[in-house]
Structure 1
Amino acid sequence: MPEALKHLIGAGTARDTADALARAWEPFDRAGFLADILPVIDGLELLQRGQCIADALRRHLPDDFAAAAKILHACLPSQERAALSGWALLSFNQYIATHGGGHLETALDLLKALTPHFTGEFGIRPFIAREQDRALALISGWVTDPDHHVRRLASEGTRPRLPWAMRLPALVRDPSPILPILEALVDDQEDYVRRSVANSLNDIAKDHPDLVADFVERHIAGASKDRLWLLRHASRTLIKKGHGKALANFGYEPLQDVTAMLELRQDGVAFPGELGFRIELENTGASMRTVLLDYAIHHQKKDGSLTPKVFKGNTLTLAPGQTATIDKRHALRPITTRVYHSGRHRLEILLNGMSVATSDFQLDLSPGEAT
């Protein structure tokens, strides 16, 4: 998590929270609340800062969760008042997730009210993990809510592999309980919601590729421009991996009659540097062909083995007998998500997800070696 993000929550957030609580509940001990937070919060990371405030909420709000929920609800913005919003509400998520057990409906109602002002996607996940059937029954009712933030919470909060949030192992194993939610939102009027649906389907595709390919097949006939974008975005991992049905859903059939020749501009690359290459394609068949051209760099690992990373290339159409030449350059530079090693690497050309040509090259990191 980038260092600067932790400053989204700090001493000012704690004071704003204390002020809102004091307005909402007269007995609130503002001084004691801040004394629990201010001496330590600057030394914490982002999520720890939110949890620090959430822990103070637990100590200074009523023990009865239903009573505490009413106070927190009164701290949210309304037509009559401006109040807490944005990252200040992360601690509310954390408090509700930790202390709302046994109060499912009250907790979810509060998260539903909170989500237009920040998001409740972190808070609802422990309830899904503990009481999946009951929680999803309530969340499913949100798909027709007039507030698009609430509709998005129904899809985003139930994502099996939501980044930064706890994973939902039961939904990773069997995502079928959330498919009705995604079905109901596939044509939502808000791009914000449709993008969440696509990301959830892409999560599911990592564990259940055929299920998502089937979902796309059922919904692609007569799809609007917006739905077609959603289905393509949902299929992005499958298309990168060359999943046959996912490619066929978008018209990318196997290309036995399209040939490819690969030429490297150099045999080796001094790091940091660029690998230049040329691809020559020819449609030797009698029919027009749609070609999705991607390429993979197989990076050498510490143990000498190779692991591929697919990069998006071009989409083009070739008439019978037509040829096309594509020149590309791939940068090999330091990035935080990869460690490079000197030695043999491989370039692989993919047409409609199928490997059609490969060529090896050397990467030289000397004198520093791995970076």
Structure 2
Amino acid sequence: MPTAEEMLSTSSVAALGSILHEVDPALRLTALRAAPAALPGTTFSERGRLVRDALLADLPPGFEPVDELFRAALTREDFTGWMIWPVTEAVAVRATEAVAGEAVTAGATAGSASATTAGSPSASAHPADFERGLELLALLTPRLTAEFALRTFLSADLDRTLAIVTTWTDHPDEHVRRLATEGTRPRLPWAKQVRDILARPAVTRPILDALRRDDSSYVRRSVANHLNDVSRADPALAVQVAAAWLDDPAPTTPQLVRHALRTLIKAGDPDALALLGYAPPAGLTVDGPALSTDGVTVGESLEFSFDARNHGADEVRLAIDYVVHHVKANGTLAPKVFKLTTRTLAPGESIRLAKRHSFKPISTRRYYPGEHALELQINGRPFGRATFTLSTEGSR
């Protein structure tokens, strides 16, 4: 993964200042020019906020100055890359000030207090800024992405935002169409959560339905990732949506659905597995897993094998995974599912499969010594279990 400096670098922030000054020489940009000196040692998110706030401090109040400046900057080819991130965030803040102002006023009215408080939105905020701000995000997103800034609009007024975003599903630019599905994902990585979407996972379905057949694999992959997010909150809804798509498929639909239901498949969800043709395997017998050793050290690998045979009268489709039950710091076991393969067995057919699982140290998992277990999972059902001891260096 790139570092914070490799993404939003001091040089890119300095370049942003130069571009904006050339677009509008009257701008002093004092805060933005000082920003690069404050970046070393900060995280990527901290950098984004720092540059966003510098832009907001330097620009006159209201949305119109922001709108005019960044639209003019879009005529420059070098107005692109990671410098766009804080630009879109600044757009979102200014464009949603009117909505924030409505909330402040409503709260003050309910409490019989003045609506004018320290830190209140700009008095120049206008309701139309909201729509103009979303329009500007659509213009900016091909230069990097505006998916994170879109979350500010969604949090400010979900239904109002979705009404506009849904119109982007037939936009000629694939980046804008992807913004419609990626920016509204329930669990977009790196992004703040939108509580209303998490509470109403079906609310974005019209966007997914409109884009599932998109000509762009870039857009379709976002649709699949979006539905996978939905599956974490509402598995039944995700399976229902996927089933409707498979009833009226495009040539790309089966692959999209498999990717969209991947979390449910690994979790052994019976409805998701059945939808993809992996029904409970009646007549299947499994011998194993047989382990190559009953003890392994971190840094080494564990080999295992097993035999499966179809004793039924019909062929069976098998989604074969295995589960490693890792010992946690408190001594309990935590399962982790790993994909193995898919196979189809004719009546009477048998297969023998083998796999080597590595216990090489990785940054995302800490290994603890103790008795672990390895279990087969076929079409979401457990088949066989064997235990082994994992040792760390010096714990033998």
TM-score interval (norm. to shorter): over 0.9
Contact 1:7 1:46 in 2 (8 A): no
SS in 2 for 1:53: helix
SS at match of 1:232: helix
Shift in Å, 1:38: 2.9
**Matched letter for residue 168 of structure 1:** V
1:306 aligns with 2:304: no
CA distance in 2, matches of 1:5, 1:47: 8
- C-alpha contact 2:186 2:201 (8 A) present in aligned 1: yes
TM-aligned CA distance change 1:199 to 1:29, over 3 Å: same
Give the Cα separation in 2 of the matches to 1:114 and 1:86: 10
What corresponds to 2:292 in structure 1?
A: 265
1:94, distance to aligned residue in structure 2 (A): 2.0
| Conservation of the 8 A alpha-carbon contact between 1:10 and 1:42 | no
> Residue 34 of structure 1: CA displacement?
4.6
**Residue 53 of structure 2 corresponds to which residue in structure 1?**
55
- Corresponding position of 1:98: 93
* Residue in structure 2 matched with residue 343 of structure 1 by the alignment: 370
Q: CA RMSD in A?
A: 1.5
Q: Distance in 2 between matches of 1:24 and 1:368?
A: 64
Give 1:241's aligned residue.
267
When the two structures are superposed, what TM-score results if normalisation uses the length of structure 1?
Answer: 0.94
Distance 2:262 2:18 in 1: 46
After superposition, where does 1:143-222 map in structure 2 within 5 Å? 143-222=169-248
TM-score normalised to structure 2 length = 0.89
Query: Which residue in 1 is equivalent to 2:319?
Result: 292
Q: Does the 8 Å contact 1:20/1:84 carry over to 2?
A: yes
Structure 2: gaps (5+ residues)? 99-128
Cα deviation for residue 170 of structure 1 reads 1.6
1:83 aligned onto 2:78: yes
Match of 2:17 in 1: 18
Q: Deviations over 1:301-346 (max 9, x none)?
A: 0111111111111111111111110011100111111111000111
* Pairwise CA distance, 1:264: 1.1
- Gapped regions of structure 1 (runs ≥ 5): none
What secondary structure sits across from 2:40 in the alignment?
A: helix
Q: Amino acid of the residue matched to residue 85 of structure 1?
A: T
The one-letter amino acid paired with 1:69 is D
Distance 1:327 1:64 in 2: 65
**In structure 1, C-alpha distance between the alignment counterparts of 2:194 and 2:362, rounded to whole Å:** 30
Describe the superposition over 1:252-272 as per-residue Cα deviations: whole angstroms up to 9, x where unpaired: 010121111111111111111
Provide the residue aligned with 2:249 in structure 1. Answer: 223
Secondary structure of 1:335 counterpart: coil
For the 8 Å contact 1:66–1:106, the answer to whether it is kept is: no
Q: Which AA in structure 1 matches 2:50?
A: C
Q: What's the secondary structure of 2:352's corresponding residue?
A: strand
Shift in alpha-carbon separation, 1:26–1:35, aligned structure 2, 3 A: closer
Task: Report which stretch shifted further, 11-20 or 293-302.
Answer: 11-20
In 2, distance between residues paired with 1:37 and 1:5?
15
Name the SS for the 2:318 alignment partner: strand
The CA distance in 1 between the partners of 2:37 and 2:57, in whole Å, is 16
CA–CA distance in 1 between the matches of 2:152 and 2:200?
Answer: 17
The number of aligned residues is: 364
Counterpart of 1:74 in structure 2 is 72
Shift of 1:222: 5.0
Deviation, structure 1 residue 127: 1.0
Q: 1:18 touches 1:33 (CA, 8 Å); kept in 2?
A: no
Measure the CA separation in 2 of the matches of 1:221 and 1:362.
47
CA distance in 2, matches of 1:260, 1:27: 76
Partner of 1:124: 150
The answer to whether residue 113 in structure 2 is matched with residue 115 in structure 1 is no
Structure 1 distance, partners of 2:94, 2:394, is 55
Among 355, 358, 373, the alignment partner of 1:328 is 355
Residue 123 of structure 2 corresponds to none
- State the AA in 2 paired with 1:215: V
The residue aligned with 2:3 is: 4
SS in 2 for 1:206: helix
The 2-side partners of 1:270 and 1:44 are apart by 38
Q: 1:174 to 1:155 in 2, by over 3 A?
A: same
Matched, 1:256 2:267: no
Secondary structure in structure 2 of the residue aligned to 1:210: helix
Q: What residue in structure 1 maps to residue 387 of structure 2?
A: 360
Answer whether contact 2:202 2:237 (CA < 8 A) is retained. no
Asked if the contact 1:128–1:136 (Cα under 8 Å) also holds between the matched residues in 2, the reply is: yes
Distance in structure 2 (CA, Å) of the matches to 1:21 and 1:345? 59
Hey, what's the Cα distance between the residues in 1 that align with 2:56 and 2:196? 29
Q: Deviations over 1:19-56 (max 9, x none)?
A: 221122231114x2454213212232222222222111
Q: 1:20 to 1:295 in 2, by over 3 A?
A: same
